Structure formats: C-alpha cells, structure tokens
Chains A and B, each alone.
Chain A
Amino acid sequence: MIEMMKNSGRTLFCVLLAICLMGTMTVPAFAAGREPLQPYSSAYLSNYNAYVYPAGNGVVQVWFNAAGTRVVDCLGSQVIQLYESIDGSSFSWVATFTSSSYPSMMGYQTGFHSSHVTYSGIPGRYYMAYVNIYGGPAQGGTSRYFWTASQIA
C-alpha cells in the first residue's frame, strides 16, 4: 500500500513537472549548444544534420537529412521544435512539428531520408530548431536530439 502511494506520488509529480514545462514553454537547458559530450553509437543511424533555412518574407524552413547504417524500418524526424528570438540570444518556443501530424518527416524502409517543415515567421527575427532524428524499428530504435544554428528570417 505504501509502495503504491509512493508510486502514485511519483507519477503525479512527473505529470505536474510536465505541466509546468508545457505551461512555460521552456526548453531543456542541457541541450543548449553543440557540446562535445560523450560519443554515442547506433545500430541504425550513421549520420544526420539539420539547419534552419530562411526562405524569404519571414518564412523559415527546418531541413534535415538522416542516413541509416542500412535500410531501416523508420528513418527521419519524430519531432522538431522551433524557437524564435528578437535579439538572437533569448529564444522562445513558437511551434512543434511531429511526424504523426506531418508524415513526410518520417521515411519507411529506407537508408536515407531528407525532408523539411515550414513556418511562417516574422522577418528580422531569429529562429533556431531543436531537432529529433530517429532510426530503426517502429519501437526501440535510436533517437538523437540536437540544436541547429540560428538564422534570421
């Protein structure tokens, strides 16, 4: 009984924390910047990158490429978060794209996938993206997250 209450408390705590995060639209601070941390290897992903491209008139596109170690079931991005800034130093969340809403973000039975998402931003503002790359089977593949550089729309 005590163990159940303890587990419920932890679950409630996690939910509250999630709500706090979503409510304030914060981003995980640990992910800020391309830091040389511990290397990782993957049975599914080989290399990948992403960048923000200013397409003109405030429109920004987040492009990404993902190469698999071989042909894999799923390859692409599950989620891309876009952040906006007036001064180029403090960024706020403005949009999130997920592969469930935008199927073209994910490729299937392929060793390479490239795609992009588009956002109508404001000319003169800075944009950067937090990009997920996923490769592998539908469950249990490899996920990576990283930041792009910022670009002026």
Chain B
Amino acid sequence: MPRIPSRGSRAFSKYDAMDDEALRSFLRSDASKPEAEAAGTEELLYVMELLEKRRKERGEARDAQKAFEEFKRYYDPRNAAAQKPPVHAKVPAPPPKTGTAFRWNRKLTNAAAVIALLAGCTLSVGAARFDLWELLVKFTRETLYIETDDGGEPARITDSAKQFPYSDFPEVLRQHGISGAMIPTWLPEGFAFADRRISETPRSRMFYEYYANRDKSLTLEIVENSLEPPAYFEQLGSEVEVYRKNNYIFYIFQNETQYQAACIDGAVQCIFWGDLTHEEIVQMIESIKKV
C-alpha cells in the first residue's frame, strides 16, 4: 500500500500523544474554524493516518462502507444530522456555500482519498438500494480518471416535433403505446410549445415536452420504465411537500428558483418543472388527467 507523504510528520508529532477521541475532536473542530486558523491538509492527513494506524494495530477490520460511515460521522461537517452534539450545544446551522464549506470540499476529497487507500481498495455494494425520495439528495465530488479505448454510442433520440407540429402530448403518448400517464391539462398563461424529445433506452422510454415563455421554461416529462432505477432529483433544502390529487401523491419541491412536481403511478412517472410559482404548479396538478 502506498505511503502518504509525511513531510510534516515531525511537526505533527504532538498528535502522537493524543488519544483517538481527542484526535477526532480536533478533526471536527477544524471544520468550523476560519481559513486562517484551520489546520493544513498535511496536518489533517497526518491525524487521519495516525487514527488509521492505531485501528490497524488494534486489529480492527475495515471495509469501504464502514470507512464511509465513519467518514460521514466524524469528518463531514455538512452531515449535521449524523453528528450528535452535546445536549447543551446548538445544532450547527447549514454551512455556507463558500468559504469554510469550499475549503472543506477540498479537504474532504483528500481525506476520503486517504480513507479509500487505507480501506484496501474495495467497495461494498450493500447500500445500492433505491428509494425515490431518499434519492432527492446528492453528493458532489471530484474524481480521478484514466483514459481507455472503449467506444461510446448515443441513445436513440427522436426529435418528433416535426412529426407533431403542435403539442398534442396525449396523442403522442398513445401513438407510442403509453397508457395511464398523468398529464396536466392546464399550463400557466404565456407558455407555448417549443420542443419535444423522445428517448429510448433498454429499460425506459422518456418523453419530454418543452414550453417557453420569453426567458421562462417549463418541462413535462413522462417516463415509462421497467427496471430502471428512479432518478436523482435536484432539490433546494430538505422539504418535500406531499400533495394529494385523487388517489395520486405528488411531491412538490424546489430546485433553485424552479418548482418541480413528481408522481409515480406504477411503471409511469410524471414529472414537471419550470419557472413557476407554487400556485401555478398546484394548479397544474389539479388539472391532471390520466390519458
């Protein structure tokens, strides 16, 4: 296993005398310090390597999944829910998108890379499960990659706007054998049909309708799939509004300035989003008809 460069080892030997909890505490507290007061990357990695060395000396096994869990629990300051602050402590506020958080992005990337190295280059797939509404969250990271010579091919995408000069979405779906899709019959004033895309992959068919109103956009998406996992959705904040329309449950959430609504009915998903107000997206849901 490659060694982590230890240029600053001597300077950091003060950490050798500290117990594990103190080291973890140091790592956690470093996250909330301003840039000028925070430890450098090498110092951070020295501490993490020290913790890992001790773990090995204790003969504790580690797999990548466990490493990831520990990583989140101890070192990811954004994972506030997973951390258990003392009773008297204030729950930390969500970190800003700049400054400390940005610095930690780099540190987390490096730290996680170390964990990956120390974890023995393996991965666990135990967590590969799919729950649409758990998937409303993402994790952004940098990665390293190596070029290969394998070929790539585009999906079969049909721009059928020429075939269907004006939007008749229900008719288009029927022509493609899609039944039971939920489609809003009301659109906010000013939006006009702009484009349509249909894509087929081995496990799904996707129908997109684009509407435009000057610089505003609105997209309707119908997805028919068999075994394809549901999509990841971009979402602002953590709140998802549940809106019931007849027997269907729609989930309404925000993505930056846009509102999105999504509903799954069997193998067919109905999703729409755009530059809409909350009232407008609710009105669209209220106008839903099954076609």
Contact = CB atoms under 8 A, between A and B. Distances in A.
B152 A116 contact: yes
A94 to B, nearest CB: 8
A32 B123 contact: yes
A69 B79 contact: no
B239 to A, nearest CB: 9
Range of interface residues on chain A? 35 or more
Contacts, number: 295
Contact of B235 (A18, A22, A40): A40
A51 B203 contact: yes
Q: Is the interface of B mostly helix, strand, loop or mixed?
A: loop
Contacts of B229: 49, 51, 148-149
A115 B233 contact: no
A103 B153 CA distance: 9
Interface in A31-51: 31-43, 45-49, 51
Interface in B137-152: 137-141, 143-152
Interface string B142-169: 0111111111111101000000000000
B83 interface: no
A97 to B, nearest CB: 6
A93 B147 CA distance: 12
Interface of A: 9-10, 12-14, 16-18, 20-43, 45-49, 51, 53, 55, 61, 63, 65, 67, 69-71, 79, 81, 83, 85, 88-93, 95-98, 101-105, 110-112, 114-120, 126, 128, 130, 132, 142-150
